[in-house]
A and B are shown apart, each in its own frame.
Chain A
Amino acid sequence: MKSESVRPTVPKCTFCENPAIVYRKEVNHHLCKTHFIADVELRVISNIEKKTLISDGDRIAIALSGGKDSTALLLLLYRLLPCWNDVHLIAITIDEGIAGYRVETIRSAQRLAHQFDIEHRIISFDDIYGNTLDSLLRGKESQACSICGILRKKALDKGARDVGATKLATGHNLDDEAQSALMNVLRDDLPRLVRNSSTMKSPYFIPRIKPLSDLSEKDIATYLLIQDAWTDLPECPYTHNALRREVRSMLSDLEYRYPGTMLRIMDSKRKIEHYLSGIEITEPLRHCKECGDPSSGEVCQVCLIKRSFSH
């Protein structure tokens, strides 16, 4: 069956005469390149303002893995800097020691920091824990993501403290956040569901901020691609988290059929946080008896992992 050629129809931008590159179903807007970039930047700045994530004088450590989310984070914060007085950015990259993956992403992080003239620190698991993730994980590959997550968190905290940061910014996007929230419900982990590390008033933690938490994974990819800031990098070889993979695929399907699903999950989470505010649902913080760092148990998770390695 041979059909006739049909003249392509290009939808126009809602705000100007240029061809649209994106259709945002939730708000029924067609956006051209210029208006899409403006829309993304506006959504990030309103997220920051709404939650007071950044204040004048902040020294912000950016967790720069070199992947797409942290690349977009650096780009966006750099552009939005004139919104505040005297805010300073420092990039921190954690080298977990993952063969065939990290070399390329670290190179990308270095290029980026250099391009924007931002101070850059690389901290390796080898320096802090005396070994690479690859060797630490031998025989425990199935727990890779949870072990790596715990070790990376501590490494980032240390890096941020070392550079005198007042905030630690990560590139978590709306997809990540909605997945995590739903996973915490599925695991019946209420303390983790309502833990809000950006407002945590503790002398032991540098507040963590997620300026991109209102942007979808697709928004971020599009934002980078149209500005030629997209680099096709390998995915981490340890992406074994089975539950996250299922939740991701399910949520992305729901979001497509019912636009706004992920934002509604985050609104529910905020409401639960609000109703529970002031109620103690987590164990009070104590100090790890091995390393002295704040911990919810007698021994912190990092020291528990270290113990399991020495056996």
Chain B
Amino acid sequence: MKVVLPDKNIKTIDFTSVSIEQILLDLGINPLEVIVSRNGTLVSEDMIVGNDDEIQIIRIAHGG
């Protein structure tokens, strides 16, 4: 599965079944500080994703 990180770098990970929340925790990211989309659509983080999915992680900028 392709994961687009907040810094736009791409990471490929392989697994059988995992929630988006777990992916974030494995990457050391607090789920409250990012928004995640799967194949271009916003999804709730308890969603279990598959190996064919593309996940994009967007960091929420602070301020005004």
Contacts and interface: CB of A to CB of B under 8 A. Distances in A.
Which 7 pairs of residues, A with B, have the shortest CB-CB distance?
Answer: A67-B64, A65-B64, A23-B44, A20-B44, A3-B16, A6-B17, A21-B42
Given A2-B14, A10-B43, A252 B33 contact: yes
Interface residues of B, number: 29
A19 interface: yes
Interface in B2-59: 14-17, 30-33, 35, 38, 41-53, 58
Interface stretch (A114-122, A214-222, A288-296): A214-222
**Residues of B contacting A: mostly:** loop
A7 B50 contact: yes
A217 B43 contact: no
B60 A6 contact: no
Given A235-B63, A252-B33, A6 B44 contact: no
B30 A253 contact: yes
Nearest to A220: B60
Nearest to B37: A225
A218 B15 CA distance: 28
Interface string A202-213: 000000000000
Contacts of B15: 3
Nearest to A9: B48
B64 A218 contact: no
A8 B53 contact: yes
B50 A8 contact: yes
Interface of B: 14-17, 30-33, 35, 38, 41-53, 58, 60-64
Contact of A1 (B14, B35, B38, B62): B14
A5 interface: yes
B30 A5 contact: no
A67 B60 CA distance: 12
Contacts of A10: 43, 47
A256 interface: yes
Contact of A225 (B30, B31, B35, B53): B35
A222 B35 contact: yes
A66 interface: yes
Contacts of B42: 21-22, 33, 222, 225-226
Contacts of A70: 64
A69 B16 contact: no
A1 B13 CA distance: 11
B32 A239 contact: no
A72 B38 CA distance: 24
Interface string A66-93: 1111100000000000000000000000
B1 to A, nearest CB: 9
B43 A19 contact: yes
A171 B47 CA distance: 31
A16 interface: no
Nearest to A4: B16
Nearest to A33: B42
B61 A256 contact: no
A68 B50 contact: no
A66 B52 CA distance: 37
